Amino acid sequence: MIDTGDVEASSAASTTKPTERRTSAKLESASADTKVQHPSHSKSGHKRVKSKTDLDSKSLDTGKESISGLKIDGVKAKATKEPKQLSQKRPAEAEDDDELENKANKTIKKRKSKEKKEKVAMPLAVRTAVGSLKHSMYIGAHISAAGGVQNSVNNALQIGCNSFALFLKSQRKWTNPPLSPDARDQFKALCIEHKYDATKHILPHGSYLVNLAQADPEKAEQAYSCFLDDLKRCDALGIELYNFHPGNTGSNARPEAIARIAAQLNKAHKATKNVITVLENMAGSGNVVGSTWEDLRDIIALIDNKARVGVCIDTCHTFAAGYDIRSAEAFKETMDKFESIIGLSYLKALHLNDSKAPFASHRDLHANIGTGFLGLRAFHNVMNYLPFQGLPMVLETPIERKGPDGKTIEDKGVWAAEIKLLEGLVGADAASDDFKKDDQRLQDIGAEERKKHQNQADKKQQKTLDALFKKVSPKKKGKARTKETLDDEESSDAGCSHSDA
C-alpha cells in the first residue's frame, strides 16, 4: 500500500500546530471509497514529505471526532427548571421564570451554532508546504464561495489546497449583487495571511450561462455583460487568471463563432486591467468550441493583446476529445502536439479529473482520480511533467454521496484525500509494486461505473455502424431543432462538477 508522509503546513492558517496535533486517520470517502495515501517516493535524494492524513469517513458523517483527535459532541442539554406552580406564584414571578427560560434556550442555541461552525471549520487535511515536494505542484479544488468570496479562502485551507477555483458570483443567474468592499477587503487580507498568491494560484471559473460565440445581438450583449462583470471582480480582488468555456457555435459556422469569441475577448481586455482570460479545452460534444488544440490556437491568433489570453487543460476533456495521456509515451505525444500547435507559454492552469467515459467518447463525465478510464498512471505523468510547475492544478471530481439519512451530501474529505494522493505522486516510482497495487485498487473501485459507460459507448458505435450500412442517419426522428435551440443547446454531459457560489 502506498504510504503518506507528514505534511507541513506552510500557512499561518492552521489553527493547530502540526507538532502539537499529529493526525492519524483514514481518508475514505463513499464517493471514491478510497484509502488515499501518498505513493512511495523514488529514491531521488529529495526530502521526504511526512504526514498521516487518513481520515475515517465515519468521523465525517458524525462530526464526533476531528482529525486532531478532539471530540465535538452535539450539544443536547436542555434547560432545567422546577415545575411551575402558577397557582402559588404571582404573575410577575411567572414572567421572570419565562424570561430565564428564554435566556437559557438562547444560550443553548448559541452554543450549538458555535460548535457547528467549529466542526465545519475543522481542517480535514494539513496543507502541504510546496517546497517540500520534489516539484512545485500547486494542487487544490474548486471550492465553495457561499456567503461571499472571502469564505473561499478558509474553505480552501480546510482541505489542504495550495491553489483553488471558485465562482465569483452565482453561476445560475445573469445578474448578481455587486462585490461588496467588505468582502473584497476580507478576501485580500485572508489571501495575504494564508499565503495564497491571487495573481498565480486562484482560478475563478466563468458562468455556464455565458456563450461568447452567441450570434444573436441581444443574447451576445447579455453574455458579454456577465463575462465583463466577472473580469472586473477579478481586477478588484487582485486575481489575474479567469477560466471559462469558449462557447457554442449553434447553427453557425465554426470560424464565425471563433471570430465572435475573439472579438468579445478583445473588447473585454480593453475594458479591464490585468486579468488573463483562460480558455478551457472541451470534451467535444455537440457544437462546442475548444475540443481541439486548433480551435484554441485560432482564437488566440485573433487576440490583439496576447499577454491577456491563455489555456487551461482539463485532463478529462483532453482524454474525451481524443488526446491520450495514459502512458508516458502517449502523454509526451499529446503535450508535444500542444506545444507545436498552441505553445506551452500559453498554458496557465490545469483541471484534474479522471473520466467515467472511454477514450475519444466526447463525453464530459468526471470521475474520481484513479477510478476512471485514465487511471493513476495518467496522473503520475501530469504530476511529474516539469512545465506544469507553478501552475494552479484544480480538482473538479465528484464529492457527492449518500448521508445516513439517505440524502445526498457533499463530502469535502474526498478532495482532501485526492490532494494528498496527487502530491504523493510527485517523484513517485510508477514501476514500483506499491504504485501498481494502488493503481489496481482504485481501478477496482471504479470498475462498475466504467463498464456501464463502456457499454453505452459500444451501443452508440454499433448504432452508427448500422446506420451507415443502411445509409440512414443515426439521429433519432423527432422535432426539428430551431436556430434558437441550437444556439442555446447544452450537452447533458457538458457540466463540470463544482461547488456553487
Write the pLDDT tens digit of every residue in 425-448: 999 999 999 999 999 999 999 999
Rounded CA separation 260/266 (Å): 10
CA 442 – CA 418 distance, rounded (Å): 12
Question: Which residues partner with 400 through β-bridges?
Answer: 410
More confident position, 323 or 107? 323
Quick check: 354 pLDDT over 60?
Answer: yes
266 burial level (CB within 10 Å; 0-12, 13-18, 19+): middle
Question: Looking at residue 298, what DSSP letter applies?
Answer: H
Which pLDDT band, with edges at 50, 70 and 90, does 470 fall under? confident
What pLDDT, on a 0 to 100 scale, did the predictor assign at position 54? 42
Return d(Cα 207, Cα 169) in angstroms, integer: 9
Phi-psi region of 322 (alpha: psi -120 to 50; beta: other; left: phi over 0): left
Other CB atoms within 10 A of residue 6 CB? 16
Q: With the C-alpha atoms ordered 123, 497, 300, 378, is the resulting torsion angle positive or negative?
A: positive
| Whole-structure pTM value | 0.75
User: In this predicted structure, what is the pLDDT of residue 92?
Assistant: 56
| CA dihedral (467, 472, 473, 476) positive or negative | negative
**Confidence (pLDDT) at 71:** 30
The pLDDT value recorded for residue 398 is 98
* pLDDT higher than threshold 60 for residue 309: yes
Predicted local distance difference test score (pLDDT) of residue 285: 79
Name residue, grid cell 499561518: 12
Domains of the chain with CATH codes: 129-452 (3.20.20.150)
**Amino acid 36: pLDDT:** 41
How far is 265 from 281, CA to CA, in rounded Å?
16
Output 283 or 11, whichever has higher pLDDT: 283
Radius of gyration of the chain, Cα coordinates, nearest whole angstrom: 25
Active site residues: 172, 205, 208, 245, 280, 314, 317, 351, 364, 366, 396
For residue 500, what pLDDT band results from cuts at 50, 70 and 90? Answer: low
- Inter-residue contact 145 to 166 (CB < 8 Å): yes
Predicted confidence at residue 106, as pLDDT, reads: 64
Is the C-alpha dihedral spanning 210, 212, 218, 224 positive or negative? Answer: positive
Higher pLDDT, 138 or 105: 138
SS3 163: strand
Task: Average the pLDDT over 13-26 and give the result.
Answer: 38
- Answer whether 314's CB lies under 8 Å from 277's CB: no
Confidence of residue 35 (pLDDT cuts 50, 70, 90): very low
225-259 pLDDT, tens digit per residue, is: 999 999 999 999 999 999 999 999 999 999 999 99
The confidence score (pLDDT) of residue 85 equals 42
- Which tens digit of pLDDT belongs to each residue from 337-349? 999 999 999 999 9
CA distance 438 to 429: 12
| Ramachandran assignment for 247, one of left (phi > 0), alpha (psi -120 to 50 degrees), beta (any other) | left
Q: What is the mean pLDDT of residues 405-417?
A: 95
Q: In this structure, how many other beta carbons lie within 10 angstroms of the beta carbon of residue 48?
A: 15
Residues 161 and 191: their CA atoms lie apart, in Å, by: 12
Examine the pLDDT at 75 and tell me if it is beyond 70. Answer: no
Alpha-carbon separation of residue 456 from 100, 453, 461, 466, 476 (angstroms): 65, 5, 9, 15, 16
Helix (H, G, I), strand (E, B) or coil at 305: coil
